Amino acid sequence: MLARSGAVFTSDVHLWLTALVVTVTILLWASARLPEFITALLFFAAAMLLHIAPAASVFGGFASSAFWLVLSGFILGVAIRKVGLADRLAHVLAPRLSASWPRMVGGTIIISYLLAFIMPSNMGRIALLMPVVGALAKQAGLKEGSRGWVGLALAVGFGTFQLSASILPANVPNLVMSGAAETAYHLHLGYMPWLFLQAPVVGLLKGAILTLCICWLFPARPQTVTRGAPLPTLSREEWRLIILLLLTLILWMTDSQHGISPAWIGLCAACFCLLPRVGFISSEAFASGVNFRTCLYVAAILGVTAVVVDSGLGHLIAQGLLRITPLDPATPFVNFVSLSALTSALNFVVTANGVPAMFTPMAQSFADASGFPLGSVIMLQVLAYATPLLPYQASPIVLAMALGNVSARDGLRLCLLVALIGLVLLLPLYYGWFLLLGYL
């Protein structure tokens, strides 16, 4: 009996230590009191010194495909800028988008959304778009670090992550949710039903709101770019990089057929860019162009998620939230708002990639308590995990902020404003759309 009590006490202490480390890490990231990479290193050190989880969980982010997509994204971005492809594409886009600031922001967001239909990786899309948008900003007279520059960088990050949640294969949390639903309930989520349910609110309306928010928070006056002299013909280096990018894009688009993860495809392309003689990037350019601070940050975000899930802390938090969540079949709108709020609360602890892994297995309990169909409970979490309250909750946004040298404060302001408007405006419309389509 005493041994059993001791084991329970030890388990409780372990959970409290885990909760303390995770809470302090999240608060430091949220408040930006320390540079994000220092907080990441402190998390790794504290987790290992206090033995809150095995090393495989703490450092699991380095084995994650998301980490390698971030690193590959930096390398491909450096190559695109170095050979001149970014400036060439910006030269084509600038006359069409620089007529006004709303047009430039809206055009950037539309491009990021359309690219999600053909390219499955958020990180890959950001890696391709950021150098082009950076060159576009410079041609329109927006200096690096200016309000306009920051606005365009955030348009890429937020547009890429948040809007792509409306397309089933274009977002990692979507795939996690789809896999969890199939594993737990043998429920197959189809491409077109998903698109028809999510695209009007999560895609189109969210894109319009995002454009307005960026234009308001980060006002700018781009210089109208007229068509200049024709560009010189493509160089041999540019042709080789175009062929490499096309092959990478084709393999990314067909990953469901060949089964190779987009991360390893991106890593192979990045390795080619670094090869002597045939590549495009020197050792010096690699050292100066790749932001290892962000790579550490992303690895730590993924490590926190793994620790929370593996330690059982996430399950305890989810169960605790369920006990205090008001669910009653007689109040469907309150149920809808409550379940969305629960998803947002989980986003603080396990970030966007981990939310559907925690929420979906418990969806049957939520469905029984709320009176909603199981499929509807599973699908309603999309808007919440696609609307982070803090930048660290979505690693693609973190990557875009790093590539654009955007401060944590600017990212936080946009996160909070979009989330506030989402709560006031989008959530009731989302509920109405579910009702109209017969999901509730």
Cβ-count burial 133-170 (b if 16+ within 10 Å, e if not): bbbbbbbbebeeeebbbbbbbbbbbbbbbbbbbbbbbb
pLDDT value, residue 10: 57
Distance CA 215, CA 358 (A): 35
Alpha-helical (H) ranges within 276-426 are 283-289, 292-311, 313-324, 332-359, 363-370, 374-379, 381-385, 395-403, 408-421
List, for the chain, all residue ranges whose pLDDT scores fall below the cut of 50.
Answer: 1-3, 6, 8-9
Distance CA 47, CA 196 (A): 43
pLDDT value, residue 228: 61
Instruction: Locate 10 and state its tokens.
Output: 């030890």
pLDDT value, residue 158: 95
pLDDT value, residue 229: 62
231-279 residue pLDDT tens: 778 888 889 988 988 888 788 767 667 878 777 888 899 899 999 888 8
Alpha-carbon torsion angle 38, 41, 42, 46, nearest 10: 180
Helix or strand or coil: residue 373? coil
Query: Which residues neighbour 100 within 8 Å (Cβ) at sequence distance 6 or greater?
Result: 222
Where do we find the tokens 């169909």?
A: 373
CB atoms within 10 A of CB 241: 24
Angle in degrees, 0-180, between the axes of helices 332-359 and 395-403, rounded to the nearest 10: 70
Distance CA 132, CA 84 (A): 10
- Rounded to two decimals, the pTM is 0.78
The CA angle 428-434-435, to the nearest 5 degrees, is 90
Distance CA 107, CA 130 (A): 14
Please check whether residue 109 is in contact with residue 211, taking contact to mean a CB–CB distance below 8 angstroms: yes
